[in-house]
Structure formats: structure tokens, C-alpha cells
Structure 1
Amino acid sequence: MVRLVNVYTISAFLSLGVALIGFDISSMSGVLGTHQYRDFYGNPLGARQGAITGAMAAGSFVSALFAGSLGDRFGRKVTIQVGLLLWCIGSVVQSTSNGVAMLVAGRVISGLCIGLTASLIPTYQSEIAPHKIRGRIVSFQSLAGAMGIMIQYFIQYGCSFINSEAAFRVPWAIQAGPAVILFVGLFWFPRSPRWLASKGRWEEVLRVLARLRTANNDVNDPFVLAEYKEIEDRVRLDLLDVPSNSIRDLFSLKMRRRVFLGMAIQIWSQLTGINIMMYYIVYILESAGIRNVLLASSAQYIINVVMTIPAILWVDKWGRRPSLLIGAVSMAFWLFLIGGLLKAYGEPNPIPNQPTTWIVVDHPAVSRAILAGSCITVGSFAISWGPVSWIYQAEVVPLRVRARSVALSTASNWAFNFVLAVFVPLLLRSISWVMFFLFGSFDIAAFIHVWVAAPETKQRTLEEMDEIFEHGEQKPLWKSFTATRPTNKFDMLAKDIEMGKLIVHPQVNTF
């Protein structure tokens, strides 16, 4: 019998929390091309529009700094629910805003939700997932984010035909719906077994593992007992090694490489150029000479969803490292191409007070090529950096610092998201086509960093990460494309338990 509630359904449902990010991205991207939004808020351009867009990231950055501490104290699930309540409040404030100041305030409140959910959802997913499909499970959030972008964009596109303030108020109000559904549904989901272990609640750890791994809640299943044993040994070692869970622990000699690597992967994911395509694709297509920019923009959101599916299916086979490397090169190529086409065929915009000061006129083939390049850039991100950046940060650190490390990585993500949201409109008006060469160069830098510093982590248990990072590789990372190979230690442990060579005695409040 297959249980209705398993790691797949839990992860898919939980990913509604990440879909909220997608709703925000496309709701903001969609309104930029509508006269209703521009008329009501005084045609915000440059820094003003950047402040409106970046307000979400500003709130996310602040709450992400506290997400780890809250997640460790109250649990992943409860903290996510608190974030969802904040999202509903933010949606109400945005949809009833009477000016830019109130709109910014609403977006900051909604951002407080995203900082919590974006930090703790991948943490929760990685902690409930079997190691062989952990990448697939965490990747559900990337698919949810992509679907949130696409669904909300078409809602926004449909509302754009309403000749009133409802054109932007209705989509912003609708955003609260998925948050309410997820908030209620979480009451029926289990707590993270690894968080329970950190609190010494060992009977619950065993019951949750049995519920997640077997169809009949078999606490004597060899694979359940093997995972329980690994968690128990890891928690015991952590408590003997470092008896505290302090901020200082994050930056200890043993942890800093992993923590900084998780932060770097998140930062690079923002610098790939994806934010230009997600938030400001309307401006780019206007610069390229595309007429119906709202309809044309929808193509990249559909591609974003479609190209996330292969990542979910095969990221645990491809590996994290090859995905990041190939994705960085692909995005760099297409950004350089877009920048080159704009430089070669563009000219100064003769119309004042426009979002873009450099446009392509009467070159339909070039316009279509820029549209295609933007779509392929998004597709390259969706199949690589989109899911892997969230997978990697949650799996490279041990339990005792995982929530705080992921929160710090997520805060880094939102800090750069905020900077880009604020400054991209300014860059589009000042350096125009040069901006694409800038972000293409960032992709090359990301490729180099991953090549020399990011080991492969696919199909390793979370408890095995110490072997990768503390004992090192047999040869330098830059000499290998995929680097580490998965081991079968977990399977051997389960076999020993099944054959009676190892007896596991579940503990009760051991620590």
C-alpha cells in the first residue's frame, strides 16, 4: 500500500510556500506593463520602481537572519506557519494600498514571510527526504516557484484588461489564497525527524521515520533503523564535539568553508542575470522592440516551468556540480548574445521618461532573437541553478547549524536580490546593453568558483557530508568534472541491521 502522505506529497504541498515567491515576481513583473498601475502610482521609474520591487527582498533579508534561530527553537513547521500569517497581512496591505508608501510597506511585510519560508522549507525538505532522492524532493520548490510565476502572471495578464484599479489589486489579493491553504495543511504534517533528534525526542524520531519510509509504519524496518542510527550517531558526535548551538559555531574552522560555500552559491544564483529576466522582462522586451510585451513575456514563464521538470527527475543522477557548471556557461553565452545584439542594432530612445533609454527599431529578426535568448537564459537557469542552489545550501552543513546556515545563505540571496531589484532599473536607463555583459561575466566567475570549490554531494546522506568536507577529495576539484562518487555505506548499514550483525536500540530522551 502506498501512503497518500509521503515525502513526495509533503514536499509538493509544502512547496506552496515557495510558490509565493513566484506569485510576487510575476505580479510585479506583470503590472509594470499596465497603464493602470503606472497611472495610479505616478509612473514610477528608476530608483522609485526599484524601491517598490526591492521592498520584498528587504523584508526577506531581515527575517532570514532570524529564521535559523526561530526554526531551531520552535521547529521548522511552526515557524513556516508564522511566516504564512505575515504573507496574508502583506497581501491585504498591498491590495488596499493608497500610494507608493503603503505598497512598499505591504511588500516588506510579505517579504518577512519569504525570508522565513525560503530558509526553512528547503531545510525541512532535506531533513525528511531519503538521501538518494533528496535533490528531487528539494527541487519541488523550484517547480512550485516556477508554476507560481506562470499562474500569477496569467492572472495578472487577464486582469490587465480591467480598466480600473482592480487590474492590480485583484492579483495582489489572490496571493493570500495559497498561504491560507498551506497554513491549514501543515497541521497534519510531521515535524522534521532531525529537529526532533536535536531536542532528544527519540521515540518521535523513530515514529516519523517509519511513517515517511514505510507503508505500514514499521519501526523495525532495517532502512528505518539504519537512518535512525545515523541520525543518533551524528547528534551524539555533534554534542560531544561542540556542546553549543551558537552563532560562533557557524564560523568555526570546521564549518566556515561549508557555510561560505552555501552563501556563495546563493549569491551567484542572484548574479546569474535571472532577476533581470524575472522582474524586468517587460522592460527588456520593450527595449528589444517587441510590441505585445505582456503576451511575449509569458513564453519565458512557461519555459521556466517546463525546464524545471527535468531537473526534478534527474538532478540526483546528473549531480549538483555538473548542473551548476553547465548552467553558468549556458547563461553567460546567451546574455553576451543579447548584449551584443542590443549594442549592434540598438539606438537611443527618442521618447523621454521611459524605463529604457536604448531600443531596437525596425529589426524584427533581432527582436525575436533577443526574445529567444531571454527564454533560453531562463530555461538554462531553471534546469540548473534554480533548483540546485536551494538543494546545495541545505545539505552541506550538519544538523547543529543547518537551520542557521541555510538562513544565512538565504539572507545573502535576498540581500543581493534587493540590490539588484533596486539598481537594475537604473542600469537599464544608464548603461543599457552593457548590463548584459556584466551579468554574463558574473556567470563566468560563478563557473570558475564552482569548478575549484564545490564538491559533488549527490546521493550522500546528510550525515556523510563530514567525509566530503573534512577528509577532502583524492584529487583537486578542478581536475574533475563530477568529483565525488556516492558511497553505499547506508545500504551496508541497513544490511547489517537486517542480518542481525548490528542491533539498534532506540533511545528515549538520550541527550
Structure 2
Amino acid sequence: MYQIGNIYVITAIAVIGGGLFGFDISSMSAIIGTQQYRCYFNQGPHGPGYDDDPVCSGPKSDVQGGITAAIPGGSFVGALTSGWLTDRFGRKTSVQIGCIFWCIGSIIVCASNGIGMLIAGRFINGFAVGICSAQVPVYVSELSPPSMRGRVVGSQQWAITWGILIMYYISYGCSFINGNAAFRVPWALQMIPAIGLFVGCIFLPESPRWLAKKDRWEDCHNVLTLVHGQGDPNAPFVMLELSEIRAMVEFERANADVSFLELVKPKMINRLHIGVFTQIWSQLTGMNVMMYYITYLFGMAGLSGNINLIASSIQYIINVLLTLPALIWMDRWGRRWPLLIGSILMATWLYANAGLMASYGHAAPPGGIGNVPEESWEISGAPSRAVIACTYLFVASYACTWGPVSWVYPPELFPLRVRGKAVAITTASNWIFNFALSYFVPPAFVNIQWKVYVVFAVFCTAMTIHVFFAFPETSGKTLEDIEEMFHEGVPAWKTHVNFHRIRRAEVGDLNDKEQAMKFEENIDSANTVAKSG
């Protein structure tokens, strides 16, 4: 069967899995403020079905938190399950399994006749997102050459931003439909990309490292030739990659007990801690709060109705556009500096918003602005425009730093033998915190109002310190080089990007002596690690 060999085309198809999560974020953020949704799922005194009733307040704040949190709750379970799926069936097949679950969940969500059915369908959708979000980064990182690994893995985040933007405008357009179709149509349309991803995966090659792990060396060599050798099985970089993979697989078989317990052993637990906190901190920036509940934030800043929805969509455009610089230059910038600069900038905008709200705002009337309890604080005039501007700047700061890097970084940290399981755990950490924050934020807006900004600003401050002292640089290194770096115990702040040399190796510019030395280094390092392990 025909297989696609261009890494950019492979990535474009694979990261549709990230777009599924983006579809969910914006379909909910654009819909929760509409009269059709609030009246159909209303828990106020007038009950469901009163589409023309102007006082429909929708689900209670804690129930809305539960509806929103159903996706990350399911994603937590899906991410943990994906480690077993990917080791048994392969990276590509696991993603296809996720597509099937997404379609099942979307059918249930689209047909929802009550809150319980809506939550159940969203949980199944989340299960699919958990599988895809955990394994797509693993898959593309194992196929891509080191000099563009950040670019192709970071495309997962770009796909998320495109999914958010496309579904937001679909949902916004559907908001003008009278009746339940206003939210059922976008929930049905979100099945289309999952179907496309399932079909597209048929034409993609399997991960060469997974094939090697299964002793399918001929297939492994063929995939490396297809993706990296332009049809030449003896291309220098193909042979270099094959030698590195073979050395690492042989070492791992001789010295490793491949189980989840391997991840908490002394030589692996530091990497697990870094990967887990990369995903935890990416949630504690507060970015997904901005994505899910932006209409609440802008409602407090004095925007309402269609103006609120249009203003909210601008942040999604910013998110798409500002992710591009990271995709283009991340492999030259590295991983550490974007994480450090991004957290500092986000803390700045969050502290600014908290100060503006506290200094120039006041509590909203009982029941919230426009009968929306979550819009519990009011600010107007020039300060409200400053709040909106800081919100846009926050999104821009996240989009080109933590957004793509948080997906690129964890798969790079782990050796082949545990990569599938490890990334499943790190991604599950993302989703369990996403679940907690999705559930926490609506009641938090009701109870602590503007102080929600302070909470996330403090988190951004803490993550800056943590990244500086604990997160090493992985850009410009092969996955096997990263293994060696961790075993040598190089302090995080002394690591740096090694982009140019790895790029020379990929294009075959190393001379024969350098190639031979590199090959011997791979074998020697594997033997050294074997003796020390």
C-alpha cells in the first residue's frame, strides 16, 4: 500500500488529533453564552425548553463546570489507557482507535436530551482526545529528524488553535439558528475531522522506533529510508539513525524491566517529574480558562451579545498566528528559553489584570451581569479596555511559548522502552489538572471574583523558578543523545541548543571520520549506560 514519506504531510494528518480538542474548547466557549443552550439546559426556576424566556440562566455554575470538565476527565482516562494501547498496537493504530471513540461520543453529545447525556458523551469524547493527545506527539517525534522535531511536534498545538478558531466561527454562525440546532449542528460537525484522521492514518508509516522494538528491522529501515533518505537506504543519516536505534534497543532489552514501575526508579523519576510538571504548569498558566470561559471574562469587561462573541474570537486568531513563530524557530530557540520567557510575560499580564480589576472594578449586582452568576465583577471605561488588551497579550505570550513547547518537550525526555507509557502519564497529568480547573473556575468567578487572576499569576511565577533550575535543554539532540545527557547528570542551567551540528548530520555534511566517531560514540554511550545501569 502507498505510504506518505514527507514529514510535513505526515504531521499535517497526524495532528488533526489535536484539532479535536480545539473543536471541543471553542464549541463550548461559543455556546455556553447563547440563549438556546442556556434555556435548553436551564436549571433555573423556569426549567428547560423555554427558548424565548429572557431569564434563562443555564446550568448552575458547578454543573457547568462539570459539563466542561467532562472532556478533560475522559481525557485523563484516555491518556493513561493510551500507554498500553500504543505499546501493543502501535502509535498509528492507537490514534485510529481514538477516532472511533470520538465519533461515538459526538453522536451522544449531538443527541443529548439532558445534562446527564451531555456529560456522558463529552466524557467519551475526552477519552478519544486523551489517546490522540498522548500518542500523536510520540508518533511524530519518533518520525521527525532532530532539527525539526520541535516544529513538527509543536504542530499539535497549532492544530489545536486551528480547531478552536474553526469551530468557534461555526458555533458563532449556528448561534443565529433558532432552537436546539444552534448547538446540535456544531456538535455533529466535529465528527468530520475524526473521520478524515482515521482515513489519513491508513496511508501513514508506523513509527520506526516502535517497529524496532517489535524486531521488525526491515520495516524500520524502510520507514527511515522513506522519511529521511529520499529513497536511498544507504543515506548517511538513515544509517546513523538506524545504528542509534539498534544500540538503544539492544541496551534496553538487556537492562530494562519495561513497566510503569520503571518510571519511578532513581534514574528515571527526575525525567518523569519534569515531563509531568511541564504539562501541569501548562494548565496552571490559566490558558484553557481563557479558552473555555472567555465570554465570562469579557462579559465582566462590559461586552455582551454578539460583540462579546466577536471580541472573544480575536483571541483565537491571535492564538493561531502567534503559534507560527514557535513552529518556525523553536528548534533554534530551544525549549528552556521559551518556557522561561513565556511564564514571565504571562505572570505580568495576569498581575496587571488583577490590579485593574481590583482598582477600577466593583462587584456586580446579585445574580451577576445579565443573570449570569459567573460574571460577578464589573469594570468599564478605559480600564476595561486595558483588561481586554492584557488578555490578548496573555494569549499571545502563551501561543509562542508554553503552547507548543509543552507538547514537544515530554516525548523528548524518555527512552524508547518507556516513552509510550511515560507520555501517557505526562499527558494524563495535563488532563487531570484541566479537569480540576474546568470544574473550579466557574464557582471561583462567583466566589473570589477578580482574585482568580492572582491565583494563576502566582502559578506563573512559581513555574519560572522551577523551569530555570530543573528543566534541561533537549533541542538539537537526537532522542538517544538526550538519554546520554540525563545519565551524565548535566545541570539544567548548563545545557544548551546544539542545532547546527545535528543539522549537518541530517544533510550528510559530516565527513567520514566524523560519521565514524559519531557511530562509535553511540555504541560507547550505550555500553557505558548498560554498565552503570
TM-score bucket (shorter structure): over 0.9
Partners of 1:226 and 1:490 within 8 A in 2: no
Paired residues, number: 495
Label 1:303 to 1:170 Cα distance change in 2 as closer, same or farther (>3 A). same
Deviation at 1:466, TM superposition (A): 1.9
1:290 is aligned to 303
Alignment root-mean-square deviation, CA = 2.0
Label 1:7 to 1:484 Cα distance change in 2 as closer, same or farther (>3 A). closer
Residue of 441, 444, 449 corresponding to 1:432:
449
**How does the TM-score come out when normalised to structure 2?**
0.90
1:54 is aligned to 69
1:277 is aligned to 290
Deviation at 1:427, TM superposition (A): 0.5
Deviation at 1:500, TM superposition (A): 9.1
Deviation at 1:486, TM superposition (A): 5.2
Task: State whether structure 2 residue 378 is matched by structure 1 residue 360.
Answer: yes
**How does the TM-score come out when normalised to structure 1?**
0.93
Task: State whether structure 2 residue 423 is matched by structure 1 residue 403.
Answer: no
- What residue ranges of structure 1 are gaps of 5+ in the alignment? 505-511
Task: Give me the whole-angstrom Cα distance separating, in 1, the residues matched to 2:465 and 2:97.
Answer: 39
Deviation at 1:369, TM superposition (A): 1.2
2:281 is aligned to 268
Deviation at 1:349, TM superposition (A): 1.1
1:87 is aligned to 102
What is the one-letter code of the residue matched to 2:105? Answer: G
Partners of 1:53 and 1:421 within 8 A in 2: yes
Task: Give me the whole-angstrom Cα distance separating, in 1, the residues matched to 2:514 and 2:492.
Answer: 38
Task: Give me the whole-angstrom Cα distance separating, in 1, the residues matched to 2:466 and 2:125.
Answer: 33
Task: Give me the whole-angstrom Cα distance separating, in 1, the residues matched to 2:312 and 2:516.
Answer: 60
Partner SS state of residue 280, structure 1? helix
Task: State whether structure 2 residue 86 is matched by structure 1 residue 68.
Answer: no
1:176 is aligned to 191
Deviation at 1:84, TM superposition (A): 0.4
1:229 is aligned to 243
What is the one-letter code of the residue matched to 1:189? Answer: L
Partners of 2:476 and 2:502 within 8 A in 1: no
The C-alpha deviation readout for 1:367-419, integer Å capped at 9, x for no partner, is 21111111111111110000001101000100000010000000000000000
Partners of 1:289 and 1:359 within 8 A in 2: no
Residue of 89, 93, 99 corresponding to 1:78:
93
What is the one-letter code of the residue matched to 1:348? Answer: A
Task: Give me the whole-angstrom Cα distance separating, in 2, the residues matched to 1:6 and 1:460.
Answer: 21
Task: State whether structure 2 residue 477 is matched by structure 1 residue 460.
Answer: yes
Label 1:248 to 1:348 Cα distance change in 2 as closer, same or farther (>3 A). same
1:166 is aligned to 181
Partner SS state of residue 372, structure 2? coil
Task: Give me the whole-angstrom Cα distance separating, in 2, the residues matched to 1:274 and 1:239.
Answer: 41
Task: State whether structure 2 residue 441 is matched by structure 1 residue 441.
Answer: no
What is the one-letter code of the residue matched to 2:132? Answer: T
Label 1:502 to 1:160 Cα distance change in 2 as closer, same or farther (>3 A). same
Residue of 266, 270, 280 corresponding to 1:253:
266
Task: Give me the whole-angstrom Cα distance separating, in 1, the residues matched to 2:483 and 2:204.
Answer: 29
Deviation at 1:313, TM superposition (A): 0.2
2:522 is aligned to none
1:44 is aligned to 59
What is the one-letter code of the residue matched to 1:123? Answer: V
2:349 is aligned to 334
Label 1:56 to 1:86 Cα distance change in 2 as closer, same or farther (>3 A). same
1:101 is aligned to 116
1:508 is aligned to none
Q: Quick check: 347-356 or 303-312, which moved more?
A: 347-356
What is the one-letter code of the residue matched to 1:182? Answer: L
Label 1:499 to 1:347 Cα distance change in 2 as closer, same or farther (>3 A). closer
Correspondence 1:105-124 to 2 at 5 A: 105-124=120-139
Task: Give me the whole-angstrom Cα distance separating, in 1, the residues matched to 2:115 and 2:514.
Answer: 67
Partner SS state of residue 9, structure 1? helix
Task: Give me the whole-angstrom Cα distance separating, in 1, the residues matched to 2:471 and 2:172.
Answer: 40
1:138 is aligned to 153
The C-alpha deviation readout for 1:44-81, integer Å capped at 9, x for no partner, is 13110000000001111111111111101110111110
Label 1:18 to 1:501 Cα distance change in 2 as closer, same or farther (>3 A). closer
Deviation at 1:149, TM superposition (A): 0.2
Partners of 1:460 and 1:487 within 8 A in 2: no
Partner SS state of residue 154, structure 2? helix
What is the one-letter code of the residue matched to 1:207? Answer: N
Counting aligned pairs with the same residue, the percent is: 46
Task: Give me the whole-angstrom Cα distance separating, in 2, the residues matched to 1:69 and 1:144.
Answer: 25
Deviation at 1:455, TM superposition (A): 0.6
Task: State whether structure 2 residue 431 is matched by structure 1 residue 414.
Answer: yes
Q: Quick check: 339-348 or 411-420, which moved more?
A: 339-348
Deviation at 1:5, TM superposition (A): 3.9
What is the one-letter code of the residue matched to 1:116? Answer: I
1:156 is aligned to 171
Partner SS state of residue 202, structure 2? helix
Partners of 2:158 and 2:324 within 8 A in 1: yes
Task: Give me the whole-angstrom Cα distance separating, in 2, the residues matched to 1:11 and 1:467.
Answer: 27
Partners of 2:22 and 2:163 within 8 A in 1: yes
Deviation at 1:490, TM superposition (A): 8.7
Task: Give me the whole-angstrom Cα distance separating, in 1, the residues matched to 2:365 and 2:518.
Answer: 78
